[in-house]
Every structure is written in C-alpha cells, then in structure tokens.
Amino acid sequence: MRACLFLLVVLLFDCSAFPDSRSHARSMVISRYGIVATSYAQASVAGAEILRRGGSAVDAAIAANAVLGVAEPMMCGMGGDLFAIYWEAKSGKLYGINASGWAPRALTLEHFKDKGASSMPLSGVDAVTVPGAVAGWGALHERFGRLRWKDLFPPAIFYAEEGYPVPEIIHGYWQSSVDWISRDAESRRVFLPDGQAPAVGAVFRNPDLAKALRQVADEGPRAVYHGEIARAIVATSQSFGGTMAAEDLAEFAPEWVTPVSTTYRGWTIYELPPNGQGMAALEMLNIMETSRASPEGSLSVPELHKKIEAMKLAYADLYRYDADPRFHPVPVEGLVSKAYAAERATLISPAAANCDVSAGTPPGSDTTYLSVVDRQGNIVSLIQSNYDAFGSGITVHGMGFVLQNRGGLFSLDPSSPNVLAPRKRPFHTIIPAFMEHGDERIGFGIMGGPNQPVAHAQFVSNLVDYGMNLQAALENARFTVSPKMGCHIVIESRVKADVIEKLSSMGHQFEVEGEYSTAMGRGQAVMHDRKTKINYGASDPRADGSAEPEPPPI
C-alpha cells in the first residue's frame, strides 16, 4: 500500500512538472548565434557551417541555395530565378534584389503567331527565359558577402558528386514529375536513373551538375552568362528550335529594388515590387485590417471567411495589374493604400461567399525559400525557383540542371499589361517577405506559386492577431487558392469539419487536403530581437527541412 501511495505521489509530482500542451509540433530554434532555415536539412546545415566560419547571412544563403539546387532539382537551381530581401542590422536599411530573367530578344508575339499558338506554353523551349539566379547570387555576394566566393560551393559540389539519400517530400515531387521530364532525353538520363524517380533513401548523384558548380565556383557568375555554361544553354535552346542567344545571357543583370510596404496592426510588412505578386499580400492584409480579428480563433468561421474573401479581392487586382514595371505602369501605391482597401472591403458580405470577383480601380501612382539570420542580426529572405517542377522539362546538355519555364506566365493578349515582349520579365509568383515591430525583425516566406500572397497574409495574422510564435505560425492549418478560382478553395483537414460545413453553407466550395498539405506551400522564418540579441528560427513541417543553428565558436 505504501509503495502504491509512493508511486502515485511520484507520478503526480512528475506530471505537475510537465508544460502545458501546445498546438504546434516543433519548437523554435533559439540561439545567440546565426540560424539557417531551409526546406532540406543538409542545406540548412551547410549554411550554418558557413556562418560558423565567419560568413555573412548572404554567404550562408548562397551556400544553402546551391545545395538546394542539387537536392531539390525540380524546385530550384542555376536554371531558375531569384528574389531576395536583405536587412542590414548595422545601418537599419532594407534592400531588395530582383534577379528574374527576361525573355530572349527573338521570343516575340510574331514568333508565336507564326506557330499558330493562341497561348503561352508551360513546357518546352518557348517557355524558357534567361535564368537569373546565379547573377542574383553574384550581386548579393559582391555587396554583402564576407567569405571568398569559391568557398561557398564545396557542400553543393560534394552532394552533387558523392550523392545524397532522397528524402520523402522531394521524392513525392520527383515521382509526380516523371511524365513531365520523360519528354526530354537529357532529363531522362540525368534525373530518371533506371527510368524512374529515385526512391526514398536512394542515393542520387549528378556529376554533370558538380562540373557546372565547379565552373561557377572558379569563374563566378560569368560562367553562366559568358562561359561554357552559357554556350551549353544556347546550344540546348537551339537544339529544340528555341530563341535564346548568347547576348540574351551576356547582357542580363539583376536589379536592386526598393521593397514596398504596408502596416498591419502596428507591424510593418515588406514585399518586393512587381513583376512579383507581393503587392497582393499587402492588399489582402489591408483589407483584413478593416475589421478586427475574430475572438473565436484563426480557424473560426468568421476569420476564415474574411480572409478567403479578402484573398479573392486582392488576387483579382493582382491578375489585372501586375506586370514588369519597365514596360507597363503598375499602380502599386494605389493597390496597397488603406483607402483602397477600405473601398474593396465593402464588397465582402459577412454571410455569403462571392464567386465572381472583379478587379477594382485603384488610385493611380515551384520554388524553394530560405531565410538566414547571422549573429550580427543581418537577415536574408531569399526565394528561388524553376517555376513548375523541373521547370520547362529541358535539361542543359552536360550541365545537370533544368531551365525554368517562367515564360509560360506571359500573355499573348496585346491588351494585357503582362503581354510578351523581348527583354521583358514575366509575371512572377515567387516573393520573399520581411516584417518588423519594435525590436523584432522577421524574414519569412512560403513557397507555392499563387499560394504565396495568401500564405503570407495568414502567417502575419497568426503572429500579430493570435500571438503565435514563428513555428506555430508556420504550422497552423492554412487554406489556399484553387486553380478553379471563383469560390473554389483548397483547405487542410486540420480545420474542423463543422467549420468547413458552415463555410460551405455560405457558398464556399472546398477541396480538403491532408493535415500538412504541400499545396499550402513550404515556409521558413527567422527572427532577430535587437534588444536581447537573440535569434529565432522555424521550418515548415510540410517540407523535408529544418532550422539549423550556427555551431558555437569552439
């Protein structure tokens, strides 16, 4: 009896020491040193090691991105584009870089008219635009790098040459892309060993990519835009009857841009200006701010209804106005103004879904994401993509990477602001983001094509409206836009059935995905607290990645 009483006391004592239960599965990474958060754990580790060696946040981001190009070849790589936001802690300045490539000079409306095409293709050589990623790496490193350029690439070269075991989510994307890349003999040779996608845990090697990475390490970005890799890109394009010429690559340069911003309940949120879709996230937040957050919670009927309707309004404007501002004026200031948001918000019925949303009249004026914070508090928010999985489906001969299909987002309608033109940049989906309040600075992003603005807005609301920490805000159940548009919405099954049922009765039409659906994108986030000098990191469980702390200097 005494033994039983003693055991009961011990159990009660132990249980009383347990922390309260929580809604998210992972803890944040918290460190006095730097943190690298990516969608592939080994890429995060590679970036953290660069920080340990004294590298800057930009150095770590480039090293991690290069590894991601090896391990996630369907998502990103040297054949894709890049955007980034950089927070310089010492000066308090925020920088933006647009490294999205332009259309070849010979890729014209007449080119498609001669082919009898009525719309832009999403695959094949005519969807290929100049890859801007490596030029973006070079511009970032020249301005904010600390280590030597060549010292950033050994981890990526190692994984390309020696191989890596394919993780679960990456395998899933690979498997679903077999038909897409089977059309190209070089893609089949490089990415479908034994004629099929590598199995989970199978070691995949890409010696051609190792060779290309060595050239980039030795020669810098010049290798991609003037050297052997450039010649291989042009030769590959020509072999398919494409329009890419040597001067299209040689004359390309990324553009430094000023981020655009809005405020949301005391926080300032930053996105990059067009040709990306970041302004849609800001407009959506402005519309959401016109009414208070529901006290019933982030996944309640009134809160989800408000956000879904705000998304529709913002996306209608996005698709009407977004374009390359060098070719067509985009009314960004009007679209992200509070007055315009108030006007748009009046179109939201609290009781019914709007299935036919039109663009307003504002006043004039597949992908990988990573975030890095170094021990000084500098933050990189970087996103890089081939667009669709394996991009155009065309692999550069002998170089081991695919060319993006961003050109597929141009329009052939002469009245569209996004109409195809030589040396024009297409509408772009990939958007890095940044937010600040008081002493807190957060670099964040969530991948996934048109999902990104609505995912950003939900992440911000989770933090600001509902007090979630970085990890909880990333993990929280999300909804996203459906390709069917209108009232069609994709939502995760973690949203309660009775909530979905009530929203359905209001006119919303749901496609319910799994608990942690990749359709919601894969996010990362880092935060620096200027007062305490402590860094925080989070990584989305919808990916294979992690947030890795910089090892201590011992």
Catalytic residue numbers?
Answer: 367
Is residue 17 within 8 A of residue 26, CB to CB? The reply is no
Nearest CA among 448, 433, 428 for reference residue 322: 428
Q: Which residue do the tokens 């155009």 mark?
A: 392
Tokens representing 71 are: 């391990």
How far, in whole angstroms, is CA 424 from its chain's centroid? 22
Nearest CA among 372, 397, 402 for reference residue 385: 402
Compute CA distances 443 → 11, 37, 75, 94, 332, whole Å: 43, 10, 21, 11, 22
Q: Do the strands 509-513 and 488-492 form a parallel or antiparallel pair, or are they unpaired?
A: parallel
DSSP 3-state of 243: coil
Determine the Cα–Cα distance for residues 532 and 470; give it in Å rounded to an integer. Answer: 17
Is residue 310 within 8 A of residue 399, CB to CB? The reply is no
Which residues are bridge partners to 123 per DSSP?
Answer: none
Burial of 92 (0-12, 13-18, 19+ CB in 10 A): exposed
Q: What is the DSSP string of 496-543?
A: -HHHHHHHHHTT-EEEEE-TT-GGG--EEEEEEETTTTEEEEEE-TTS
Determine the Cα–Cα distance for residues 184 and 437; give it in Å rounded to an integer. Answer: 49
Cβ–Cβ contacts within 10 Å for residue 239, how many?
A: 12
Q: Fill in the DSSP letter of residue 419.
A: B
Is residue 403 within 8 A of residue 79, CB to CB? The reply is yes
For residue 446, the surrounding DSSP H or E stretch is strand 440-446
Q: Which residue do the tokens 């580790």 mark?
A: 45
